[in-house]
Amino acid sequence: MKRKTCAAALVIAAATFLLPSVSLGAGKFRIGHTKLIMGSPAVVADRLGYFDRTLGKGNYVVKTFKMGKLMMQALLSNSLDVGGAASRPFVTSTSKSKKITGLGISNYYCRSAHLMVGTDSKIRSVADLKGKRLGIGKASGTNFIFRNFIAPAHGLKKGDWTVINTLATDRVAALRSGNVEMIMVANPAATIAQEKGYARTLENYCNYAKVFWLILTRKKAVEEQSDQVVKFLRGWLRAVRLQKENPALYARTYWQHLQSKGSKLSLELVRKNVDDLEFPAPLIDENERKWLVGVANVLKKEKKLPRTRTYRDGDGFDLAPLRNALKAEGMM
């Protein structure tokens, strides 16, 4: 009897071991957003109950990521259904994998992307970075723009500065500790650093290139959860519409979210951060498409991509879910 009991226990243990692991929120639609200002539409949609009304309360989970690249990795590993990223990681992932597709353009954030130095730094221009270190995400869209547009505009060439690959949330600390002399930081982190006297801004990205945030999804999600993808987009579109029609409420909602995470920023400063974002028509236009193709061509020339895409509907983008959401919301 004792042997039978032990044998049964071993069988149960083996069966348990062989069962596939179930992640938190399994069966629920998984939404990802960056903790930076570009992710604010998903935050507002969540806090104001837009996702409750479109997806259904309890039918989704919202996850926060430090960087768009990390969201991309979560999408590729099937631990997320929708997320966001800047142009460079988007181009890289869609060129190397068939698992990811773009859904549309979320926002332009050039006024939110700051090149910063210490408050007492002798650096007065990007040109002064020569021989020094820049804290930035090495494979990020902002680094792509820096090395291809901003640095050359200031007379810098490859090798004149050193890139220190740093998470967005760690860059201010890296600057303060002296590990780097300049950082690229987006809001609200940039505003917090200025308010605390940790850093000052040299300039933003607006004079150099398009800086936009994209909405992404797994192709399998479009194939197997098309209704949920559309419902997510409907909730997201309601937040975008709120920002245009009632920016004060949008800013207050995002401010309350930041407060819940320990931020001490004033509502006035958060409103300014939010107002720095620009929300274009979400369906990708020809200029945005050409920008993505240009990014891909540069990366392919550098032998960092195996192929490039046209970034038309059906090749890098699937615009059907967004069109359906726009129609359902009376916005098309």
User: Is the pLDDT assigned to residue 210 strictly greater than 90?
Assistant: no
Mean pLDDT of 174-201: 95
Higher pLDDT, 66 or 222: 222
H or E element at residue 10:
helix 2-18
**Do 57 and 46 fall within a single domain?**
yes
pLDDT digits (tens, 9 = 90+) for 39-59: 999 999 999 999 999 999 999
Is residue 203 within 8 A of residue 1, CB to CB? The reply is: no
pLDDT tens per residue, range 11-21: 434 443 333 33
Whether 166 and 75 map to the same domain: the answer is no
Q: pLDDT value at position 209?
A: 86
Q: Rg of the chain over CA atoms, in angstroms?
A: 22
Name the domain count of the chain.
2
Question: Is the pLDDT reported for residue 25 higher than 60?
Answer: no
Task: Give a yes or no: residue 1 inside a domain.
Answer: no
Residue 9 lies in a domain: no
Angle subtended by helix axes 68-76 and 87-96, to nearest 10? 20
Residue 3 lies in a domain: no
pLDDT tens-digit series, residues 57-93? 999 999 999 877 788 889 999 999 999 999 999 999 9
Q: Is residue 304 situated within a structural domain?
A: yes
* Angstrom distance (rounded) from CA 161 to CA 130: 5
Of 6-15, 207-216, 323-332, which range is least confident?
Answer: 6-15
Report the C-alpha gap between 84 and 236 in whole angstroms: 12
Element of type H or E holding 308: none
Same domain for 42 and 97, yes or no, is: yes
Q: Please give, one letter per residue, the 3-state secondary structure of 229-255.
A: HHHHHHHHHHHHHHHHHCHHHHHHHHH
Confidence of residue 27 (pLDDT cuts 50, 70, 90): confident
Does residue 146 sit in the same domain as residue 104? no
User: How many alpha carbons fall within 13 Å on the CB side of residue 317?
Assistant: 23
Residue that terminates a domain, selected from 204, 235, 254: 204
State the amino acid at position 270 in one-letter form.
V
Q: Is residue 84 part of a domain?
A: yes
Are 316 and 284 contained in the same domain? yes
Residues 103 and 222 in one domain: yes
CATH of the domain at 154: 3.40.190.10
Mean pLDDT score, 119-125 = 97
- Cis before 188 (ω within 30): yes
Closest CA to 193 of 175, 166, 167: 175
Q: Which of 204, 239, 271 is the last residue of a domain?
A: 204
State residue 207 phi and psi, 5-degree precision. -80, 0
Residues 290 and 224 placed together within one structural domain of the fold: yes
Of 169, 188, 204, the last residue of a domain is 204
The gap between the terminal CA atoms of the chain, to the nearest Å, is: 71
pLDDT score of 14? 40
Same domain, 279 and 316: yes
Mean pLDDT of the chain: 91
Pair 246, 305 in one domain: yes
Q: Which domain holds residue 146?
A: 111-204
Please tell me the predicted confidence (pLDDT) of residue 66: 83
Looking at residue 7, its pLDDT comes to 44
Residue 26: the pLDDT is 53
Q: What is the pLDDT of residues 127-165, one digit of tens each?
A: 999 999 999 999 888 999 999 999 999 999 999 999 999
- Same-domain pairing of 220 and 103: yes
Question: Which amino acid appears at position 138 of this protein?
Answer: K
Report residue 10's pLDDT band, with 50, 70 and 90 as the boundaries: very low
pLDDT at 69: 78
Backbone phi and psi for residue 8, each to the nearest 5 degrees, phi listed first: -65, -40
Same-domain status, 96 and 220: yes
- 255 inside domain: yes
Are residue 103 and residue 68 in the same domain, yes or no? yes
Q: Does residue 182 form part of some domain? A: yes
Would 19 be classed as within a structural domain?
no
d(CA 140, CA 34): 13
pLDDT of 245-255, one tens digit each? 999 999 999 99
